[in-house]
Structures are given as C-alpha cells and as structure tokens.
Amino acid sequence: MTTGQIQSGSIEELAQTVSDAEKRETVHAALSAGDAVFTWDYDKGQRAALNKLYEKAKGAMWNAETDIDWSIGGQIDMARDPGNPFAILGATDEGPFGKLNDEERATMGHAGLAWTLSQFMHGEQGALICTAKIVESVPWIDAKYYAATQVMDEARHVEVFSKYLTDKVEWQFPINIHLRSLLDDVLADARWDMTYLGMQIMIEGLALAAFGFQYQMSPDPLLKQITRYVMADEARHVAFGVLSLQEAYRDMDEHEIRERQEFCYEAALRMRDRFLQQEVWETLGMPVRECTEIMLRNPIQLEFRKVLFSKIVPNLKKLGLLDAGGGWLRRKFGELGVLEYEDWEDTGAEYERMQLDQPLPA
C-alpha cells in the first residue's frame, strides 16, 4: 500500500474549514477533562532527567521583544516571489492551480506563508493551554516545575508568531478546523499522559520537524532567527514528553498501551493529510474540494508530509509504543511509509545539541 491510499476521512471532510460565524468569534471554549492534582511530595530531583531539563529551561528564557532583531527581514516580497522555496514546494499546475495568473500565484505565495505561520501561532496557543493543563494534572513535582517553564516558553512562541504575522506578513488566517479538533480531543481526554502524548509527542514532534524545515529553507533572516529560538525550546518540550512518558508507560498493561497506540495512529493520520492550506484556497475563491484532492495526491507534498514524522517515529520507538502489543503501531506506520525514521536520534537524546548555547544546527 502506498502512502497516498490511506486517508483520515472523505475529501468533503478533509476540505472543511471553520464556519463564517466561527471566524467572527474571538473565543473558542474547549472542554478540558480530568483532575487537578496536588502532590505533597516536594522532594526535588527525584526524576533527575526532568530536573536537569528544568534547570536548563530556567537559564534558556529569551525575550521576544529584545533578543530578536526585528529590524532585519520581513518578507511579503519574498513570499510573493515565485522562486521562493516554499512556493516551489507546493507548486502544481493541476486543475485550478494551472489557471492562476502570475499575480494570483504571487498572492497564493503570500497567503501560504501567512497560513503556515498562522497555524504555528494557533498550535502554539494549543501548546500553551495543554501545558498549563499538565501543570495541573501531572502527579510529579519535577514535572510540574518543568511544565511551568514550558508554559512561559509557549506564551513567548504565541507572542513571537503573532508579532511577525502582524508586522511582517500583514495577513492572518483562522485556525484550521482539523487542528482545532485535534486540540479539542487532546484536552477532552481526562488521562494526564494523553495530554503529553497528544501535545509533546505528536503535535510538538511534528512542529519540531516543520520548524527544522523552515529554518533551513526560509529566505528571511528574521524568520530564521525566530525559528532558531523557538526550536531550541521545542526540542526541550519534546524531550519533556519522552522523559515523562517513558516512566508512565513502563508499567501499563497491554490494553492501556493499545489505546495509546491507536491514539498515535489516528493523530498521525489526521496531522498528515488534514493540514493542507484549505483556508488559503477558500479565501482566494478556489474550489476547496478539488484543491484538497490535488494536494493530497501531489508527490512533492506527500514526500514533504512524510518528513514531518522524522521526530515522531523515533520518539514513539523510545517510548516502546512502536513495538508493544505485537508491534501493532509498527505495522500501521509501515503502511504509512514512515518507518524509515525509526532509527533516527530520539529527542530525549538530541535536545541538548539544539539549545541556544550550542553551535547552529546544519
């Protein structure tokens, strides 16, 4: 079976966007289930790896207003340039895409950048809220301490993307409905490890790969700088998930583990084929269903979306979720064609190299 044949819903479902009424709303309420848990065991450093991460995080705080040089870059012109690497990535002449004139193509480049960074911004707010929930729900003091630093990190990430979008892109998109429903589902689960699994492992794992891509390809020195700062934090966040869940999953029975495996598979499918720039086509008056179908099958897009799993697969392997229960998830990921990443370095080991005091990654 090839990667293109399994898909997380009908084309109609995939082509959906938030309604016009929802676009006008300034708040969205999601049900957050589960207990807020106190611990009376204040013994710091019981979980040495988490404690180390916490100490690192305290010294790694940066300031989006003063550490970033906002006078450089900004890229509406670059985004409108057909030679922009990101424009080339999504370029196709199929169907409605072939009918665009130069001006419309340039607008699509601008909108595509605004869409991507808008989804990063919305996803960052998802991380802010999920991690605040982890502060409440995780039973270990070292994890509560660390999660508190992540809440601050995520606030900065929302802030920095919002500022860049407002000042430098001058265009902002509403949240992709599928990203919103994934965040809603993660929050609605009462089990504390599921917030971690959904956010730190799946969503942040995907984001870490996407940021790496953006860091390498962006022609804008300002966006490169921002991405570098955000990535250093994200690497710690994903490591936080790996280091915490390793302990949580050590003693789980097969049934509980299977539930986690199924969740990972569903989330992977949803993230792979539902974040397609549907809102861009809608805004530009293009037929969203047809564009969705084309982009879903586009070979360059398929390859790109596969690379987004390069952080998730090794981390799930490290957690034992790839091979537990007779290798159920290994089989499923094999069908998705993403097992080639299984032996890549996991983020629990890799994050230290990605910190700001280390040389820039290649």
Residues that bind Fe ion (CB under 5 A): 124, 127, 154, 157, 204, 234, 237
Shortest spacing between CB 157 and Fe ion, in angstroms: 4
Q: Which is nearer to Fe ion, 204 or 273 (CB)?
A: 204
Please state, in angstroms and rounded to a whole number, the distance separating the CA atoms of residues 211 and 228.
Answer: 8
DSSP track, 46-104:
SSHHHHHHHHHHHH----TTTTS-TTS---HHHHH-TT-HHHHHT---SGGGGG--HHH
Residue 115 one-letter amino acid: W
Cα atoms found within 13 Å of the Cα of residue 287, Cβ hemisphere only: 12
Shortest spacing between CB 19 and Fe ion, in angstroms: 27
Q: Which is nearer to Fe ion, 97 or 211 (CB)?
A: 211
Residue 15 one-letter amino acid: A
Shortest spacing between CB 94 and Fe ion, in angstroms: 34
Please state, in angstroms and rounded to a whole number, the distance separating the CA atoms of residues 156 and 250.
Answer: 33
Q: Which of 112, 30, 120, 52 is nearest to 76 (CA)?
A: 112
Sorted by sequence, the CB contacts under 8 Å of residue 310 that are 6+ apart come out as 209, 341, 344
Q: Which is nearer to Fe ion, 127 or 286 (CB)?
A: 127
Shortest spacing between CB 241 and Fe ion, in angstroms: 10
Q: Which is nearer to Fe ion, 142 or 234 (CB)?
A: 234
Q: Which is nearer to Fe ion, 204 or 220 (CB)?
A: 204
Q: Which is nearer to Fe ion, 192 or 211 (CB)?
A: 211
Q: Which of 186, 177, 159, 191 is nearest to 61 (CA)?
A: 159
Residue 152 one-letter amino acid: M
Shortest spacing between CB 123 and Fe ion, in angstroms: 8
Shortest spacing between CB 245 and Fe ion, in angstroms: 15
Q: Which is nearer to Fe ion, 127 or 296 (CB)?
A: 127
Using CA atoms in the order 244, 250, 256, 258, what is the torsion angle rounded to 10 degrees?
90
Shortest spacing between CB 77 and Fe ion, in angstroms: 28
Please state, in angstroms and rounded to a whole number, the distance separating the CA atoms of residues 231 and 211.
Answer: 7
